[in-house]
Every structure is written in structure tokens, then in C-alpha cells.
Structure 1
Amino acid sequence: MKKTLFFLLFSMVLWGQKIETIDFSKSIKDNKNSIKSLTVIDQRANPEVGMIMYHKDEVKIIFENNASKDITDWFYKYNPVRGNKDMVLLLESLNISEDKKEKYSVGKLELRASTFIKKEDGYHFIDRKDTIATVSSRTTPYLAQSLSRKATLILTDLFKESYKGEPWEFSISESDLPNYDSVLKEKLNILNANELKEGVYKDYYSFFTHNPEPGFTLQANDKGVVTKAVKGEEKTGIRHFYAFVHNGIAYKNIPVGYTEIFKDENGVFIEVTKAELFPETVTTGVTIGAAAGGLIGGVIGAVVDVSLSGKRKNTVGPKVYLDPFTGNYLLPEDFGKTK
């Protein structure tokens, strides 16, 4: 009788729980055939991914085997022809959770993973994904499936960007890998510089390593607004650079112009509103957009003039830090929300 009752209860538990296996069927082929081997280090404190409710059933999100084996098998499946570089993927966090509202639920994915190239002198950082994504049950009832797919897509992007990315010049030891974030930050010159080097910085890496483009000087208009970088006969609009330093002050390009970069004990940051950082249109009617790491088109105009005057029409926003490992914006949790 006891055995019968046990199996009955066990069956009820199985019946009430469903499984969503993370699907690694999307191609992550290295078109350059540059990577010889992949090592996956699962650094997560908790190997569980998470659980979401579907109606009255629990849906558990899992790896088919485990994170290290599944991601490694995924790479070798799509890369039978390989090169001579040894890549390491560090899985730092992967968590799926659910926030239940009164009439709906919001599923949340938190994923952070980084890639390195292993050389004789140590490990060289390439790229990182540090992402939070949400899905509402008002959009889709299949939260677990949607979020597990998002995890696959994020890792796919990380692989493809890492194949073409240039490893950092700094190396760290294997024992420092778990703390690479703090170790590498110590090596970034911009965080420790007392004086900033004048000029333009083409990307986040050149900015954080404090290496401006050689030979360029800045050109301002009659209002003191920097508009171009000049190198001989070559003139390039200032908006095409990640950042620049003018008269000892650093500025970050944003969609509506540029804004001053500040520094504190936590890193470098800008003070902007959501409307300034992610505008849909400007007064000229020109549509502009912003990538997380910099500018994709935009205009230099009245917004810049008022920002340099220090007035900015009282639109100074909260601190938005710049991620030294990606150049992306690290947005505060309540960014853009009105109180």
C-alpha cells in the first residue's frame, strides 16, 4: 500500500512539472575557421537555470547534459574545420525567473558570459555579454521557451562577435580568470590617468586604454562646439568616434550630440536622460538610433550648444556607467522611470 501511494504521488509531481531544454541548434560556425579548440568554464554558483509557471504547471529550464558539455558540443558540431586559436568561454551567470503580477507574469533572463583566447603568456579577453531580458505573458504565454531561446541567441552573438574580435593586449593567469573583471580594470590606463590625452578615440578599447588616434586635432565652430577631427586633408565628423578629449575634458558621443564623461571610484560615467540616450526623433525630423556602445548616426546641433553652456534645460539625468569590457551603457535599474 505504501509503495502504491509513493508511486502515485511521484507521478503527480512529474505530471505537474514540464521541461524546457535549452536548444543549441542555431549555427555558430566560425567562417574564418580560426578557432582550434573551445573550453567552457561554468563559474555559476548554482548549476540550475530556473523555473517558470505555465498555467498550473511548473516548467523547468535545463541543459540537456550540463552547461560545459552542451556549449562545447554545440561549438564542435558547427565547426568541423578549425584553426589554431584556443578559445575559452567563461559562463558567469545564467538565471531565468518569473515575477508574477496580478493578471500576468514577467519572465526574466540574466546572462553574463565572456570569451578569451589562451596564449603562452595567459588568457586574453575578447568580448562579453552581460544582459538582462524580459518577456511578458501578455505577449506570449510560453515564457520558458521564449527566454531559453533568448539565451541561445545571446550566446550565438557572443560566439560570432568573438570570432572576429581582437583579443586585448593584456594577459591574465588562469588563477585570475574568476576575478578577471577587477584584474583587467587595474590595467586600464584611463581609470588611473591624472591627465587625459587630447584627441579622438575610435572605440571603447582605445578610450579605456587611453590611446587616441594619432595625428588628429579637434576643430570647433565659432560657438566652441567640437564638430570635426582633422588629420592633414582628412576631416571626419566628431560623431564617428566613440569619445574625445578636448581641453583636458573627456566627452562621449550620444545620439543628440556629446556629453561630458566623469569618473568616480566605480568607474567612468555620463549623466543623461533616457530621451537623450535613446531618442526616436529629433526636432529636425531625422530619425536617429543609438547602439549600446556608441552612436549610429545623429546630429550635432542645439542640444550640444546648451550642454556645453552647462544649462541643458535641467535635463541632467542619473549616472550611466560605461562598461570597459564592451563600451556599452550600464543603465540604472530605474532608468527612464518617473517617480
Structure 2
Amino acid sequence: MVKTFFLLLFSIIISAQKIQLVQLTQNIKDKSKSAKSLTIIDNREDKKIGSVSHQDQPFEIQFKDNQMEKAVQEWFLSDNKKLGDTDFVLLIETLKAYDEPTEKSILGKLDVKLSSFVKKNDKYYFVSRLSDNFSFQPKYDVHIPKLTANRLSFVLSKIINETYSNPVIDVALNETELKNYEGIISKQIKSLNSETLSDGVYPDFISFLNQEPSKEYSVNKNKKGIAIGFINAKNWPVIEKFFGYVENGTAFRLTPVGFLEMGKDEKGFYVISSKKALSPQGVSEGMIAGSLIGGVVGGAVAGAIDSKEYKSSKVQKVYIDSLTGAYIFD
């Protein structure tokens, strides 16, 4: 009886010790060679990532030697042999892997919220943010722990590469203010705090955020007065993907299904649409730009959206991240 008990206890211990390492293999080389360092600031109360199961066996998601900061720094240095003079900081706000029981099975879940900053003279300037949650189903996903670790690696590489190239928001923060960076920065964003918006074309989200429309471009409309794209001073169609425009104080954002009016409430800016419409599979920025050249926004793009899925998708307020311009899907 005692022997059976210890065998059972040993098997439980062995089971609990299963580990799935996060393999940091994506390319995070700074092509501009401006990056000097990449530092991790972990604001989580619980420093463990958590575990997800494979065949009823829990696998703890870990970095090499269970040291995330060291693993990321080694990754950064291995891909960036020639260093520049810019210090980047990655703020870990949420990083949690866990099992979520359902009626028929157990889903593997990964919740992530990461923000990045440039550090200058002991001040921090916001650059980018990535917030998302992922689900992995045993029915379709062969090895959920590996997929969870791979997705985490991909997410890290995505925000790091964005950080190299994205413009900073010119609001200086102390390190102690990082825990409330969004609230502090939001109070200084012109588009959020102005009673009226400035008319004009906004090539990117930062220009909209600062309410600095470009004088080099204008809205291209068809004979019915419907906006179909943008044109430059030479009256040539713009092939780049622009953020949108403001006309008579009303903002319109360019999306995969055309220009959508942006509303605003106490939570920020939003569009009335759905996740499937705003991020349909098979739609790229190139397709959006191509449809602009053709003169009709959404022509080629609409073909990439399954009509049945689009019609059945839930249409609601989809808020826009006030610091990045990304859509926030519940």
C-alpha cells in the first residue's frame, strides 16, 4: 500500500515537472543598426508564465534557465552584432498561459500584453504595444504546449521589430510612471482631448494622434462624392496605406472594406464593424493599396472576405487603441 502511494506520488511529481521551452529563433535584427540594448521590465506580480496541457499532462512554459530577461538579451545580442546608440525597453504587463475547461475539452490559452519604449536620459517614450489572447484547441492543434511557446516567441519578435521602426510618442515618463503610462499619455493626446478634429489627410496614426494633417495629400472622391482613396499634389493616386482623413470635423478610417466613420465616446475612438471585416484572412496592406490604384476601395479586398462569414459576423463598436491605432477586439 505504501509502495503504491509513493509510486503515485512520484508519477505526479514527474508529471508536474514537464517543461516546454520558448525557442527564440525569429529574426530580430535591427536593420537600421540603431539599437544599443534591449532591456526587460517585468511588472507582473506572478513571474511564472503558467502551464498548458498535452494529453492531460501539464507543461510549464519557460524560457531557457527560467530567466526571461537573460534569454531575450542573448537573443537580441546574437542578432545584433553591430550596436547603435538607442536603448529599447520591453515592458511585460501580462504574460499568462493556462488551461481553460470547456464542455467537450480543455483549451490552451495565452494572454499577452507587452509595451515597448525608447529610453533617453532616464526618461521613457512609448513606441508600441501588443495586447492579445490566443486559444489552442486539442481537436486541431497537435501539441498545445509547443504551439503556445512558438506563439509567444512570435509575439515577442513582432513587437521588438515594430519597436525598431515605429515612431515614438513624445511624452516623457519616469520609470515609476510606467505602471500608469497609458493614463498619463492619454491626457496629452490632442485627438482624444480636443473638442474638434482638424480637417485633412492623415498618412499615419501618429499624425492623427497629434492632429497634424498632411498638406501634401487630399481625398480622392468619385462622381457620387464617395471617398475612394487619396491623391498627391500631382493628382496621382497614393498607393501607400494611409490611416484616414477628417472632413467637417468627422474622422474616417481606411479599412479592408473601405472608409468607415470613426465615433468617439468616453472609452476613445471606435468604428462600427466586426473582427472578420477588419482583419479578414487573405487581406494584406498591399491588396488595400492595390484597390486604391484601381479607384475603388474594397474591390479586390472584398473578394477576400467570405460573404457568409461577413454577414453572420457580429457588428459592434470596435475600439481603436489610443496609443497605437490597432483595433481592440473583445
TM-score tier, shorter chain, comes to: 0.7 to 0.9
1:325 aligns with 2:326: no
**Post-superposition offset of 1:230:** 4.5
Mapped partners of 1:67, 1:121: distance in 2? 23
- Secondary structure of the corresponding residue to residue 98 of structure 1: strand
2:42 maps to which residue?
A: 42
- Cα pair distance change 1:316/1:41, threshold 3 Å: closer
- Cα pair distance change 1:319/1:297, threshold 3 Å: farther
Map 1:173-322 onto structure 2 (within 5 A).
Answer: 173-236=174-237, 240-274=241-275, 276-278=277-279, 289=283, 295=288, 297-298=290-291, 299-300=296-297, 317-322=315-320
CA deviations over 1:273-320 (Å, ceiling 9, x no partner): 45543457xxxxxxx7266xx955543489xxxxxxxxxx9x993110
Map 1:145-184 onto structure 2 (within 5 A).
Answer: 145-184=146-185
TM-score normalised to structure 2 length: 0.83
Contact kept, 8 Å, 2:89 with 2:119, in 1: the verdict is yes
**Post-superposition offset of 1:123:** 1.1
Amino acid paired to 2:28: I
Mapped partners of 1:105, 1:141: distance in 2? 13
- Cα pair distance change 1:106/1:222, threshold 3 Å: same
1:336 maps to which residue?
A: none
Contact kept, 8 Å, 2:256 with 2:298, in 1: the verdict is no
Structure 2 unmatched runs, 5+ = 300-310
- Secondary structure of the corresponding residue to residue 30 of structure 1: coil
**Post-superposition offset of 1:32:** 2.7
Mapped partners of 1:23, 1:301: distance in 2? 39
Contact kept, 8 Å, 2:34 with 2:84, in 1: the verdict is yes
- Cα pair distance change 1:275/1:60, threshold 3 Å: closer
**Post-superposition offset of 1:222:** 3.6
- Cα pair distance change 1:33/1:325, threshold 3 Å: same
2:67 maps to which residue?
A: 66
Structure 1 unmatched runs, 5+ = 281-287, 303-312, 333-339
2:308 maps to which residue?
A: none
Contact kept, 8 Å, 1:96 with 1:108, in 2: the verdict is yes
- Cα pair distance change 1:39/1:238, threshold 3 Å: closer
**Post-superposition offset of 1:43:** 0.9
Contact kept, 8 Å, 1:255 with 1:296, in 2: the verdict is no
- Cα pair distance change 1:149/1:239, threshold 3 Å: closer
- Cα pair distance change 1:82/1:215, threshold 3 Å: closer
Mapped partners of 2:239, 2:79: distance in 1? 41
Amino acid paired to 1:81: K
- Cα pair distance change 1:297/1:238, threshold 3 Å: closer
Contact kept, 8 Å, 2:270 with 2:317, in 1: the verdict is yes
Mapped partners of 2:29, 2:233: distance in 1? 42
- Cα pair distance change 1:274/1:173, threshold 3 Å: closer
Q: Percent identity?
A: 30
Contact kept, 8 Å, 2:199 with 2:249, in 1: the verdict is yes
**Post-superposition offset of 1:92:** 1.0
- Cα pair distance change 1:150/1:240, threshold 3 Å: closer
Contact kept, 8 Å, 1:228 with 1:235, in 2: the verdict is no
- Cα pair distance change 1:36/1:297, threshold 3 Å: same
Contact kept, 8 Å, 1:289 with 1:297, in 2: the verdict is no
CA deviations over 1:142-179 (Å, ceiling 9, x no partner): 11111111000110111122222222222222221111
- Cα pair distance change 1:148/1:316, threshold 3 Å: closer
1:11 maps to which residue?
A: 10
- Cα pair distance change 1:29/1:237, threshold 3 Å: closer
Mapped partners of 1:215, 1:12: distance in 2? 69
- Cα pair distance change 1:84/1:99, threshold 3 Å: same
Amino acid paired to 1:11: F
Mapped partners of 2:66, 2:278: distance in 1? 41
- Secondary structure of the corresponding residue to residue 234 of structure 1: coil
Mapped partners of 1:9, 1:316: distance in 2? 49
- Secondary structure of the corresponding residue to residue 236 of structure 2: strand
- Cα pair distance change 1:58/1:180, threshold 3 Å: same
Tell me the matched-pair count.
311
**Post-superposition offset of 1:38:** 2.0
- Cα pair distance change 1:94/1:35, threshold 3 Å: same
Amino acid paired to 1:145: K
- Cα pair distance change 1:33/1:229, threshold 3 Å: closer
